[in-house]
A and B are shown apart, each in its own frame.
Chain A
Amino acid sequence: MTAPEVRTINVLLVEDDPGDVLMTREAFDEYLHNHLDVVTDGADALAYLRRQEPYVDAPRPDLILLDLNLPRRDGREVLSEVKDDPALRHIPVIVLTTSQAEEDVLRSYQLHANAYVTKPVDFEGFIEAIKQIDHFFVSVVQLPSGPTA
């Protein structure tokens, strides 16, 4: 019986707040074994996803964690473009934001976000949330291998 394969996935974090970036890295480093790339604004996020300069060699992420309030290109715009792009729309996007506003939740799902998670206010909760996201999207669900890009 072969040991269950521990999948390593590529995760793209789109987040401008350095504090949140650090916390997320902590969570991933300590508990998770996935490759985490970080971009700090919406324009960079799209460049990364389309493998444009300076992200020509970027891996195709299996999962995107997207903050909504970003400089240059807003998270909602990024979400909209990703889900419009036939080459990118298969990638699960989890909106990870501080906003609890009903209109943000609705809008995100209308733009075809796969999930909306409000960042828990304390670190324990945050860790837990990240772990659950990871568990769900890595172990529970099937991720597509993606169209040959």
Chain B
Amino acid sequence: MTITERTDVRPRALQRSAVPARRSGRWRLRRWFAVGGTVTALLLALAILMGGLALDRLTQARGALLDRVAPAQEAGQALSVALLNQETGVRGYDLSARPEFLDPYRGGLADEQEALRTLNGLASTSGLGMLVDDVDRVARAAQAWRSEYAQPAIDAVGSTGAVVDPVRGRQLFVEVRAALAVLAGDLRTEQRAARGRVDDAAAALLGVGVAIAVGLAALLALAAIGLRRGVLRPVSRLAGEVREVVSGEVTRPVQAEGPGEITELGEDVEAMRLHILRELARAQEVNRRLDEQTRELERSNRDLEQFAYLASHDLQEPLRKVSSFCQLLQRRYGGQLDERADQYIEFAVDGASRMQRLINDLLAFSRVGRSTAGFVPVELAAVAGAAAAQLEAARAEVDGELVIGALPTVPGDPALLRQLFVNLVGNGWKFHRAGVAPVVEVTAAAVDEGWEVAVTDNGIGIEPEYGDKVFVIFQRPHGREVYPGTGIGLALAKKIVEFHRGRIWLDPAPGGPGTTVRFTLPTATPEEAP
């Protein structure tokens, strides 16, 4: 059975729906933006136009008033004064016959010409056309007075005999005055009209201003409302739903309403959510499969161990028969048969008992890991002491010395750890050098993962080339005749150490002759015993 593992989990590309995001009747933000911008620009242009027109009207009206009507009125006034001066001058000259009294007449004449010029100039421009007749009348009336009365009157002074009719003169001047009055009246009317036009234009400009202000306010209000409805609300609603997904509610679908971009965003988020869901489901599926495979493996392991246990156990029984009855045979008929028979029986008995020891060791080997009890804190000092007691007979037999250093407390199985020490220390008694009293030393040191224990003896040692092979079951570097043993001791030790999640190895560089076996016992407690 192979375990498939996904070492590289990368999300597949998001799949968006094939249908485009347009919701019927809803405009995209872009279009709103374009339309709004265009409308605003148009309104702005309109406002500028209208404002410009109103301003222009006002300017024109003001211009008419200031630049035409007022000067015209001034000129009218000047004309009136000029003519009066002329009359005064003539009269004075007429009375005094002194030439200096003619100065006003001459001055007035000049002024009159200038005023007439001005008035005609102004009257010729559009808007004051009606004054042309008035000015003309004044000019003609003045000319008539001058030609019929004033000039002759002047000429008549100093020369006797000439007579001018003052009544006629006065009549003529009255006409002049009347013409002047008409002119002034018309000018006044014109002034009032121009003033009226200025006021109207100003009112129009104010109206345009107010309209622009109102329109701007309305536009801003519309924009604000539109933004809120079209963007802010959908976005915050979408954000709310996204936040829900982020906080763990992966199963609620994400919907977004609003303009096209928002709905598209919503659909993207929804696609992402579905993707997350799929990945989650896939990861859960992978986990489930891994769990399943792990359970399968565990089941298989248990079956194997159970098989080994049962096999060893069921092999014991017939073996016991063979061994016991061979021994019985030995006892009862030992001396009665010939020597050859005795030898046969001897070998049979020996073979049987060796097989029994092998099966016992196998049984012990298979039993490691079958215990269902969890790890408990085990005082290694106590365990080592128990092992030493168990091996007391063997120790005494070889006159051995056991030195146990300070040992820690570790989590583990007490029975198995005792068996471990029995095996390792027992090896020290078993594989001693001939003639050398064996010394076995047990020490412990703290390491990263927990504790490292060393069991050192001064015995015959193990050839470096055997290295790890000694930990393989039934590998025995020495002949059976030299040293007894089934070859399972170190293999069992290895299995026990690995059951405790540690490592075991031969120290490659021992101080002197002999063997040093090192093993680690982690202190990080596993959740449960394997």
Contacts and interface: CB of A to CB of B under 8 A. Distances in A.
Interface in B280-328: 316-317, 319-321, 323-325, 327-328
Nearest to A98: B317
Contacts of A124: 327
Contacts of A26: 328
Q: What does DSSP make chain A's interface, helix, strand, loop or mixed?
A: helix
A23 B325 CA distance: 8
Given A98-B316, A98-B317, A98-B320, A122 B360 contact: no
Contacts of A19: 321, 324-325
B316 A123 contact: no
Range for the number of chain B residues in contact with chain A = 10 to 19
Contacts of B317: 98
B328 A23 contact: yes
Interface of A: 19, 23, 26, 98, 119, 121-124, 126
Contact of A121 (B320, B325, B328, B331): B320
A27 to B, nearest CB: 10
Contacts of A123: 323-325, 327-328, 331
Contacts of A126: 324
Given A23-B324, A122-B320, 12 more contacts: A19-B324, A23-B325, A23-B328, A98-B320, A121-B316, A121-B323, A121-B356, A121-B360, A122-B356, A123-B323, A123-B324, A123-B331
13 contacts: A19-B325, A23-B325, A98-B320, A121-B316, A121-B323, A122-B320, A122-B324, A122-B356, A123-B327, A123-B328, A123-B331, A124-B327, A126-B324
B60 interface: no
B163 to A, nearest CB: 176
A15 B135 CA distance: 165
Contacts of B327: 122-124
Contacts of A119: 320
B427 interface: no
Complex A-B, nearest 3 residue pairs according to Cβ-Cβ distance, in ascending order: A123-B327, A123-B324, A19-B321
B353 interface: yes
A9 to B, nearest CB: 24
B319 A121 contact: yes
Contacts of B319: 121
Contacts, number: 31
A96 B356 CA distance: 19
A2 to B, nearest CB: 35
Nearest to B352: A122
Nearest to B363: A100
Contacts of B356: 121-122
Contact of B353 (A23, A98, A122): A122
A95 to B, nearest CB: 16
Nearest to A23: B324
A58 to B, nearest CB: 28
B364 to A, nearest CB: 10
Contacts of B324: 19, 23, 122-123, 126
A54 to B, nearest CB: 29
A119 B324 CA distance: 11
A93 to B, nearest CB: 22
A17 to B, nearest CB: 8
B54 to A, nearest CB: 111
A119 B353 CA distance: 15
Contacts of B331: 123
B323 A122 contact: yes
A122 B356 CA distance: 9
Nearest to A124: B327
A119 B316 CA distance: 11
Contacts of B321: 19
Nearest to B323: A122
B310 to A, nearest CB: 11
A126 to B, nearest CB: 6
Give the interface centre of B316, B321, B324 by most chain A CB atoms within 10 Å. B324
A19 to B, nearest CB: 5
Nearest to B324: A123
Contacts of A122: 320, 323-324, 327, 353, 356
Contacts of A121: 316, 319-320, 323, 356, 360
Nearest to A26: B328
Contacts of B320: 98, 119, 121-122
Contacts of B323: 121-123
B177 to A, nearest CB: 152
A122 B321 CA distance: 8
A19 B360 CA distance: 21
B200 to A, nearest CB: 119
Interface in B324-367: 324-325, 327-328, 331, 353, 356, 360
A126 B324 CA distance: 9
A126 B321 CA distance: 12
B355 to A, nearest CB: 10
A57 to B, nearest CB: 32
A26 B329 CA distance: 11
Contacts of A23: 324-325, 328
A26 B330 CA distance: 13
Contacts of B328: 23, 26, 123
A15 B153 CA distance: 188
Give the interface centre of A119, A121, A124 by most chain B CB atoms within 10 Å. A121
Contacts of B360: 121
A8 B328 CA distance: 25
A26 B360 CA distance: 26
A49 to B, nearest CB: 27
A36 B367 CA distance: 37
A123 B345 CA distance: 14
A119 to B, nearest CB: 7
A23 B319 CA distance: 14
A126 B323 CA distance: 11
A119 B317 CA distance: 10
Nearest to B326: A123
Give the interface centre of B319, B320, B321, B327 by most chain A CB atoms within 10 Å. B320
A102 B442 CA distance: 30
